[in-house]
Structure 1
Amino acid sequence: MASATSEKKYQLVVFGASGFTGQFVVEEIAKTFEEENKELSWAIAGRNMKKLQSVLEEAGRRTGKNLEEIPIVIADVSSESSLDEMCRDAEVVLNCVGPYRQYGHPVVRACIENKTHHIDISGEPTFLENCQLLYNQQAKENGVYILGSCGFDSIPCDMGVVFAQKQFPGDINDIECFLKILIGPEGGAANTGTWESAIEGFAHVHELKEIRKRLFPVRLPKPDYRIAKRSLVFKSSDVEGYNLPFVGSDRSVVTRTQYYNYNEKKSRPVQMNVYLQVTSILALLYFFVVGIIFGILCKFSLGRTIMKKFPKATSLGMFTPSGPTRKQMAGCSFVMTMVSRGFETKLSNPVEKHEKEPTKKMITTVTGPEPGYITTPICMVQAAYTLLKKDHKIPPGGGVLTPGAAFAETDLIERLQAKNIKFTKVE
């Protein structure tokens, strides 16, 4: 850990604690901080004292912990001085305030300037990649780690690739990832904060071409064996049901990790595609209709306004202001099936060509509880604990990093296993 952060008042500060996801992050810390260090100092931060007090009361009631003495910090993204004050006192800020395109940059800048590490749970590629482009050098100069996408987007997928690479006997050529969300008898939903982040990300996806051109001026070497091209909807012998492209941030995060590994570790890049797995025609039609509505309305400012104002109607019930109930979350889970194909042998030079086609196949899975508000807080908090470890094996020097780049050599996977997010080799 950078020495500049060693004398901060708080090791962790949850910023945006009164938001829907922030509440669950606070509860996760309350449940687990004694396992890490009984002396761990932490605080919560946000705009409204009364709401923040209610967060601690609710977290205390849910976890059975006495949280009356947990400090509250008043901070607002519109107030640079309040962000500076929060960051001066924090070793690590867990930023739960989204959409990050709108609210993330001031927090990242304040963290870097005050030599504070930053962890977020963004699933917005334009924000994540622009952060790397804008702040990587300054973060390194200040010895600060800016770690994005440390929730369900995209720790299970990115660390799932890390796990697969460690299990595979030779070189992996490509991975097809199939995500299946299992909904319990109570049904399921998501909070509108997630919906708004998705709207912002999709509306500005055209910006990625220029960002990536500047961020990666030298492209990865072209693979001799391209990952399989799939139709819009297809079946696979490796998983049941129908599969369609998954438009989340997982693929973009994994790609950034592959760039890091190739440039810094001289390792062979892995190609990846991510698909959403559904098991019925009805579910398939539902996602198609939501996708069409989303794609059309996102193109226009008025359409985006309508989606934000009427999230339940425009998402056909998927996103609501109240989000899922606790019972709905308890009945929900996910399965991420990763089908790796590659070569029997491993070559030390990443651009050296294999003499034979990739014929070896391996299947691994990442499984866990409800992704948005159970798995995400677990991932975020365990990432923070890993960062706080004095003997961690995170790449030295700071910078803007993906989970796979930051945590590949740490014990993060083992930590997640202990929290019921399981990484398994199937065959």
Structure 2
Amino acid sequence: QLFAYQDCKKSFSKKNMSSASRKYDLVIFGASGFTGQYAVEEMARVAEREASSGGGGAIKWAIAGRSEAKLKDTLRACSDQTKMEQLKSVPIIIADVSDAASLAEMAKQTKVLVSCVGPYRFFGEPVVKACVENGTNYLDVSGEPQFLESMQLKYNDTAKANGVYIVGSCGWDSVPCEMGVQFTEQSAPGPLNSIEAFYKMIPGPHGAAGHYGTWQSAIHGFAHRGELASIRKRLFPDRLPRPKHRLTPRSLISWSRETDNWCVPFPGSDRSVVIRTERAMRDRLPDRRPLQFFPYLQVGSLFNAIVMLLLGSVFGIMASFKFTRRLLESYPRLFSLGVFSHQGPSRKQVETTSFAMTFVGVGWASAADAGSAKDGNSSDLKAPSTRTVTKLVGPEPGYVATPICLLQAAMCVLRESDKMPKKGGVLTPGSAFRDTKLIDRLKSCGLEFTKVLVDDVSQ
């Protein structure tokens, strides 16, 4: 790796990291990018709410990127969009991922750095490295398992030693999933054995679309998926306990009676993130029974499911070879059937699109029925008997829900670090924010968590 980690010469305690000596509470890196601009707009709203709530005082924040001119244009555009004149005076920091000194200087100035610079496979590690070395908390919106897991492998020990939180996947990948899983566990009468999640994208009258950056990340994620096996072998040398009551993955095309919809396996990073959370929770609670989890995408009809699988197969094959990978990158609109482009979605598309997630948890009526992880293969372990269904709905995933999730997670780091793992480290959202009020924060920003039903699993 280009930025292979070297032992840090200095160690920073959490007290030093969060001290008043830092000029800013939060910096948005990559603010002039497509996702970054939406993050700036949301941050302006967050800062206004925090200042008026009296919960912890005004937030001191800045934006950062390579081009001062583009950053100034971003502030003007965001000011016009939000009607917040004060945005034009937000401080600017110049930093470039190819300039380690500039990244270090940026990191030294803030308590929390949120990075919107992707694909993280290419641009993520230098920023993580700068934050770990300079005692700065880091959050991003990566949905790239190779990046997320390699950062945990390389930097977890030193992040713990320096008392900082490095938390990836804090956007729609994978905060709604992680908090939905946690909400379902909280809603159940006893421990859960498994959860299936069913995602639904709901386009408005103007349709839905995505930006090229997401498309490019997906291309390289598929292209280099073979790297994951070796990373995981080193990161997780020990297997999780084998459950007696195993959750069998659904077929490539399946019918969900809970959602009355045809489904296909969800290709994103959520499952890998939840599994990492379960491993982290097991380190803290050795007797905890690891939760089994599989996510699916609702596609509306059997025809749509077949088409989606065919397109996914073509995409996977093309992403595997250099020449065809270049074609995918050069013609995103063509190969995504108009969904992805360099222009990204329009404001009308963003404002009228939404999502819904249904979580179906199966477990036991009480902890006594569930036993512990030590009983995993016990022949007298009772079968799961209860079903808990919850639902999470929210605004457009990529550019409305993502900044909300990212910045509310950042507020947890700033306001509730005493409720986070004491030692820091490279963490998932589920393990980092489990004991914070992140779900309540998301609710206050328009995400709705609902307990639908709890009944007998046989019904």
TM-score, length-normalised on structure 2?
A: 0.91
Distance 1:268 1:281 in 2: 36
1:13 match: 27
Listed as ranges, the matches of 1:219-258 within 5 Å are: 219-258=239-278
CA deviations over 1:121-148 (Å, ceiling 9, x no partner) = 0000000011111000010111110000
Distance 1:295 1:87, change over 3 A: same
Residues 391/14 of structure 1: CA separation in 2 closer, same or farther (3 Å cut) = closer
- Asked if residue 336 in structure 1 is aligned to residue 362 in structure 2, the reply is no
Q: Which runs of structure 2 are paired with 1:29-178 in the superposition (5 Å)?
A: 29-37=43-51, 39-65=58-84, 66-178=86-198
SS in structure 1 of the partner of residue 374 of structure 2: coil
- CA offsets per residue over residues 102-132 of structure 1, 9 Å max, x none? 1100000000111100000000000001111
- Residue equivalent to 2:410: 384
Kindly indicate whether the alpha-carbon contact (under 8 Å) linking 2:416 and 2:436 is maintained by their aligned counterparts in 1: no
2:224 aligns with one of 198, 204, 218: 204
Deviation at 1:264, TM superposition (A): 1.2
1:318 counterpart (339, 356, 368):
339
Shift of 1:392: 3.8
Moved over 6 A (4+): none
Whole-Å Cα distance in 2 between the matches of residues 337 and 151 of structure 1? 18
Counterparts of 1:295-306 in structure 2, within 5 Å, are 295-306=316-327
How big is each residue's C-alpha offset from its partner over 1:307-334, in whole Å with a ceiling of 9 and x where there is no partner? 1111111111111111111111111111
The one-letter amino acid of 1:31's match is R
C-alpha separation between the residues in 1 aligned to 2:315 and 2:80? 38
Q: The residue matched to 2:26 in structure 1 has which SS?
A: strand
The Cα of 1:228 is off from its aligned counterpart by 2.8
2:21 is aligned with 1:2? no
Assess if the C-alpha contact under 8 Å between 2:365 and 2:386 holds in 1: yes
- Contact (CA 8 Å) 1:243, 1:276: kept in 2 or not? yes
Q: How far apart are the structure 1 equivalents of 2:417 and 2:212?
A: 39
Q: Secondary structure at the match of 1:101?
A: helix
Does 2:371 match 1:351?
Answer: no
In structure 1, give the amino acid aligned to 2:350: M
- 8 Å CA contact 1:93–1:119 kept in 2: the answer is yes
SS state at 2:293 partner: strand
1:205 partner SS = coil
| Secondary structure of the corresponding residue to residue 8 of structure 1 | coil
C-alpha distance 239-2 of structure 1, shift in aligned 2 (>3 A): same
C-alpha contact (below 8 Å) 1:10/1:42 kept by paired residues: yes
SS of the aligned residue for 2:89 comes to coil
- Displacement of 1:239 after TM fit? 1.0
In 2, the alpha carbon distance for the partners of 1:358 and 1:281 equals 31
Residue 283 of structure 1 and its aligned partner are, at CA, apart by 2.9
Q: TM-score with structure 1 length normalisation?
A: 0.97
Partner of 1:111: helix, strand, or coil? helix
Contact 1:84–1:111 (CA under 8 A) maintained in structure 2: yes
CA contact (8 A) 1:152 1:372 kept: yes
Deviation at 1:391, TM superposition (A): 5.8
- Return the alpha-carbon distance in structure 2 between the equivalents of residues 351 and 244 of structure 1: 33
Task: Deviation per CA, 1:377-424: give whole Å up to 9, x if none.
Answer: 000000001100156401111100000000011000000011111111
Q: Is the 8 A contact 2:249 2:294 kept in 1?
A: no
- 8 Å CA contact retained: 1:262, 1:350: no
Count of matched residue pairs: 427
Give distance in 1, aligned partners of 2:317 and 2:372. 45
In structure 2, relative to structure 1, the CA distance for the partners of 1:392 and 1:247 (3 Å cut) is same
**Which secondary structure state, in structure 2, belongs to the residue aligned with residue 356 of structure 1?**
coil
Query: Quick one: which amino acid aligns to residue 339 of structure 2?
Result: M
SS at match of 1:129: helix
Deviations 1:3-57 (A, max 9, x none): 1221211111000001100000000001121222353110000011111001111
The answer to whether the 8 Å contact 1:124/1:249 transfers is yes
Amino acid at match of 2:346: T
CA-CA distance at 1:355 after TM superposition = 2.8
User: Structure 1 stretch 411-420 or stretch 273-282: which is displaced more?
Assistant: 273-282
Name the amino acid aligned to 1:40.
I
Structure 2 counterpart of 1:137, one-letter code = D
Distance 1:258 1:392, change over 3 A: same
Instruction: Give the match for residue 305 of structure 2.
Output: 284
CA–CA distance in 2 between the matches of 1:228 and 1:391?
Answer: 37
Counterpart CA distance in 1 for 2:308 and 2:88 is 44
CA distance in 2, matches of 1:229, 1:349: 23
Assess if the C-alpha contact under 8 Å between 2:204 and 2:352 holds in 1: yes
Match of 1:402 in 2: 428
Matching residue of 2:38 = 24
**In structure 2, C-alpha distance between the alignment counterparts of 1:414 and 1:164, rounded to whole Å:** 14
Secondary structure at 2:96 match in 1: coil
- Name the amino acid aligned to 1:213: K
What's the Cα RMSD here? 1.4
Percent identity (aligned): 48
Does the 8 A contact of 1:182 with 1:332 survive in 2?
yes
* Structure 2 residue 199 is the aligned partner of structure 1 residue 179: yes
Matches of 1:282 and 1:349 in 2, distance apart?
Answer: 43
Q: What whole-Å deviation, never above 9, does each CA across 1:250-299 have from its counterpart, x for those lacking one?
A: 00000000001111123211000110101124432442243122111111
> Residue deviations 1:345-368, cap 9 Å, x none?
214633235632112101011110
Is 2:394 the partner of 1:368?
A: yes
Cα shift at 1:304: 1.5
Distance in structure 1 (CA, Å) of the matches to 2:135 and 2:283: 26
Residue 203 of structure 1: how far off its partner (Å): 1.2
